[in-house]
Amino acid sequence: MILGLGAVVCHTSCTSHKEEKESQTTFLATSPIQMDTTITKEYVAQIRSIRNIELRAQEKGYLQKIYVDEGKYVKAGQLLFKIMPKVYEAELMKAQAETKAASIEVQNTKSLSDRNVVSKNELAMANARLDKARAEQALAKVHLDFTEIRAPFDGIINRLNLKLGSLVDEGDLLSSLSDNRQMWVYFNVSEAEYLNYKTSVQNKAELQVNLLMANNEEFKYPGVVETIEGEFNNETGNIAFRATFPNPEGLLRHGETGSILMHTPIKNAIIIPQKATFEILDKKYVYVVDDQKVAHLTPVTVIAEMPDLFVIGSGLKASDKILLEGLHKVKDKEKISFKYADPHQVMNHLVVPSE
């Protein structure tokens, strides 16, 4: 009886171990999904005003008036700064007097020339002196006008670099002016992506993009890629794209950063769960199970990433069966036992495990 009981216990124990081993070696497998999809690529971007200029003094003198404050909106032609104009007013008055004197001289010389008292050359010289005086008067007027700095276009005044009463030299920076009605957003694209873009949008509508701001919120107005720089950067291998965004509410400002979101449609994309892949030396691999239930280590290239999913560029076909679990328990060319799960059901319940 004891021997019989021992045999039963041994048989039960061996059966239990065998069932446990079989359960450990039965893996879950699925297949890729092939479908049309749209992927979103993200590019670091720099935001610039469509017009951003420096406001510099064109004459020397004391800063007599500041008519605006930092961050204020100004209109084209609005007076912003005034440099003490006394010297230039005096120069203009002097030039006006010399013009008047030259004009009188021309009248007298003409009267004498008409009576043949002086030669025609004398009259010509008098007219030349009048032209010179008028030119000097016009120049003095220009110098006087330069003491008033006005806005060349509608925009926002930036930081004031000098205070009231400062001695200003010619060329000193007073402030800068930004036209933020539209914004130019620059982002760098690789050579391969540039070629794909040129191939796909040639003779078609312009490419529409979105802007992800620094607070991770998407700017509500889409932009359009309007131009590409003329040459690649030899150091990075990239080329700069420029997208134009409307900015009716003035939310975007010159110098901000963000990310461009470019949506690219892909036809017949091969899509697999991220957790079906693993990395070896920065390369991604999957296990493809053949008809004899043998797992083959297969390298794949990922062309796009979506939440919990990879879009595969090469290495897989839609008809392949790939291992979904137990990737680190299987060896290359090992025969395994697996259960097949419908890929649509698998992808509806995807959660990528956190590291």
Distance of CA 227 to the CA centre of its chain: 12
Average pLDDT over residues 93-109: 91
Which residues are CB-neighbours of 281 under 8 A, at least 6 positions away?
none
CA–CA distance, 346 with 211 (Å, rounded to integer): 32
Confidence of residue 196 (pLDDT cuts 50, 70, 90): confident
Confidence of residue 24 (pLDDT cuts 50, 70, 90): low
Q: What is the CATH number of domain 26-35+268-348?
A: 2.40.420.20
Region for residue 99 given its phi and psi (left: phi exceeds 0; alpha: psi -120 to 50; beta: otherwise)? alpha
What pLDDT does 222 receive?
94
Domain 85-146: CATH superfamily is Helix hairpin bin (1.10.287.470)
CA–CA distance, 276 with 111 (Å, rounded to integer): 105
Beta bridge partners of 299: 285
**pLDDT exceeds 90 at position 1:** no
CA–CA distance, 242 with 260 (Å, rounded to integer): 10
CA–CA distance, 341 with 322 (Å, rounded to integer): 10
Which residues are CB-neighbours of 9 under 8 A, at least 6 positions away?
none
Q: What is the CATH number of domain 41-50+187-266?
A: 2.40.30.170
What pLDDT does 354 receive?
39
Question: What is the per-residue pLDDT across 315-343, written as a single tens digit (0 to 9) for each?
Answer: 899 899 999 888 888 889 999 888 998 88
Q: What are the distances in angstroms from CA 224 to CA 194, 202, 262? A: 16, 15, 10
Strand duo 278-280 + 283-289: pairing: antiparallel
What pLDDT does 232 receive?
92
Token pair of 184, please? 């130019």
Give φ, ψ of 221 to 5 degrees: -105, 125
Annotated domain spans of the chain: 26-35+268-348, 41-50+187-266, 85-146
Question: What is the per-residue pLDDT across 264-306, written as a single tens digit (0 to 9) for each?
Answer: 778 888 999 999 999 988 899 999 999 998 999 999 998 888 8
Which residues are CB-neighbours of 21 under 8 A, at least 6 positions away?
none
**pLDDT exceeds 60 at position 20:** no
CA–CA distance, 161 with 151 (Å, rounded to integer): 16
Average pLDDT over residues 156-180: 93
What pLDDT does 284 receive?
92
Question: What is the per-residue pLDDT across 67-92, written as a single tens digit (0 to 9) for each?
Answer: 999 999 999 999 999 998 888 888 88
Question: What is the per-residue pLDDT across 27-65, written as a single tens digit (0 to 9) for each?
Answer: 889 999 998 888 888 899 999 999 999 999 999 999 999
**pLDDT exceeds 50 at position 8:** no
Give φ, ψ of 67 to 5 degrees: -95, -5
pLDDT above 90: percentage of residues in the chain: 49
**pLDDT exceeds 60 at position 203:** no
Q: Which residue has the higher pLDDT, 196 or 220?
A: 220
Number of alpha helices (DSSP H) and beta strands (DSSP E) in the chain: 5, 20
What pLDDT does 21 receive?
44
What pLDDT does 247 receive?
95
Which residues are CB-neighbours of 134 under 8 A, at least 6 positions away?
99, 102
Question: What is the per-residue pLDDT across 107-132, written as a single tens digit (0 to 9) for each?
Answer: 988 888 888 877 888 888 989 999 99
What pLDDT does 22 receive?
43
Question: What is the per-residue pLDDT across 145-158, written as a single tens digit (0 to 9) for each?
Answer: 899 999 999 999 99
How does the average pLDDT of the chain come out, rounded? Answer: 86
CB atoms inside a 10 Å sphere around CB 25: 15
Element (H, E) at 93: helix 86-114
